[in-house]
Amino acid sequence: MTRRQFHRLPRHPAYRYEYADGMAQLTPRPRTCHVLLELRPPDPPPAESAVTTRPATAEDWGDLGALFSAAFRDRPPFLGLGGRRRRAAADAILAHARGGGDGPLIEDACLVAGLRHQDGPVGGAVVTLLPRSDLTDWRSFLWSESPPADAVARRLGRPHLTWIFVHPLAEGQGVGTALLRAATNGLLALGYTELASTFLVGNEASMLWHWRNGFRLAPSSRR
């Protein structure tokens, strides 16, 4: 493409844009933003809320893979993938989280949401346990030593909202907020007082959702 065409390309913060010798090169450059929520007993759901939530069971994970794939169909970092590859990525990512790859799974805060008068789940949340450290340091996503099997019962580390996703047709109806409310109740019952989360810069829906629900930017020890 010409340089003129290159300069007119729409930009997305998850990519680096370079131009040389008549060639445009777009390279994935995911940048993450880390946020924290102080956990307090949430307000009750609105009386007219049609959203239901329940803990995820072993049978739910297939449905959650399908939902994850649909929710991220047009969101970075999955928006370039076709349906089959996106679904495979979704299943692999959830299997990784379920197997402890993102820290011990906090089962009381892994949830499935539905809508009354509609069959099947419409959203899910996966919460895992990370070490309690500076979230802006990538090492904070890794336990330096394997956490003990009873890490959650001992209230070690800090819960992290590793994935939350809502089917596009159910977006904006309070499903994500209901999942957060249920996760908050589960975490408070376990004795946790803080929930961390992460989203990609450029995922405005996620950023606004976190902001709307009271998350604040995590402090950085670098400044």
Ligand X SMILES: CC(C)(COP(=O)(O)OP(=O)(O)OC[C@H]1O[C@@H](n2cnc3c(N)ncnc32)[C@H](O)[C@@H]1OP(=O)(O)O)[C@@H](O)C(=O)NCCC(=O)NCCS
Task: Give the single-character DSSP code of 177.
Answer: H
According to the binding rule CB under 6 A, does residue 163 interact with ligand X?
yes
Q: Which stretch binds ligand X (CB under 6 A): 57-65, 137-145, 159-167, 187-195?
A: 159-167
According to the binding rule CB under 6 A, does residue 176 interact with ligand X?
yes
Q: Which of 98, 127, 97, 91 is nearest to 110 (CA)?
A: 127
Nearest residue to ligand X, scored by beta-carbon proximity: 176
Of these, 174, 192, 195, 196, which contacts ligand X (CB under 6 A)?
174
The CA distances from residue 55 to 10, 52, 58, 64, 78, in Å, are: 41, 11, 10, 12, 26
According to the binding rule CB under 6 A, does residue 204 interact with ligand X?
yes
CB of 203 to ligand X, least distance (A): 5
According to the binding rule CB under 6 A, does residue 141 interact with ligand X?
no
CA dist 71 and 28 (Å) reads 20
Q: Which of residues 97-136 bind ligand X (CB under 6 A)?
A: none
Instruction: At 51, list the tokens.
Output: 């959203």
According to the binding rule CB under 6 A, does residue 205 interact with ligand X?
yes
Residue by residue, DSSP assigns 122-157 as EEEEEEEEE-SS-TTSGGGGS-SSPPPTTTTTTT-S
Positions that interact with ligand X (CB under 6 A): 71-72, 75, 163-166, 171-177, 199, 203-206, 208-209, 212
